[in-house]
Amino acid sequence: MDYGFYEKKIEIRHSIESEGIPHTYICCNFFMRYLLPSLVQPGLDAPPRDEIKIFGEGNTKGVFVKENDVAKFTICTIEDPRTLNKTLYLRPPGNVFSMNELADLWESKLKKSLKRCSISLEDGFNLYIFSVC
């Protein structure tokens, strides 16, 4: 269920590779600045205080990284011949969380339990898309 998000990426990658352009792809999942301030809650600017939406079963993990860290990592790859024409995955182990784990961490900080509402991945996607458009 990618709703065509990756079609353009795939097209660009195929063009780069078929033209023989030297490249290094860096995959890093999510930028913290966009998703963590609201705990991945569509339409919110701050973490929820009473209720949290859990997408699907909430066990799929995502990697949350700071843009500055991605930039530093990217700069380190420029002169490193081992990275040429490769795909690198930036996944610091301490930055990998599921929705349930994020909710658990937030509840421990709040010192209270939140009502957890499970919503389908498709409904969650639609909520997110319509909240940012």
Give the residue numbers annotated as catalytic, written as ranges: 9
Phi and psi at residue 10, to the nearest 5°: -65, -45
Please give the Cα distance from 120 to 57 (Å, whole number). Answer: 8
Please give the Cα distance from 45 to 65 (Å, whole number). Answer: 18
Core vs surface per residue 83-116: b (16+ CB within 10 A) or e: beeeebeeeeeebebbbbebbeebeeeeeeebee
Q: How many CA atoms lie within 13 A of 15 on its CB side?
A: 6
Closest CA to 52 of 122, 128, 118, 101: 118
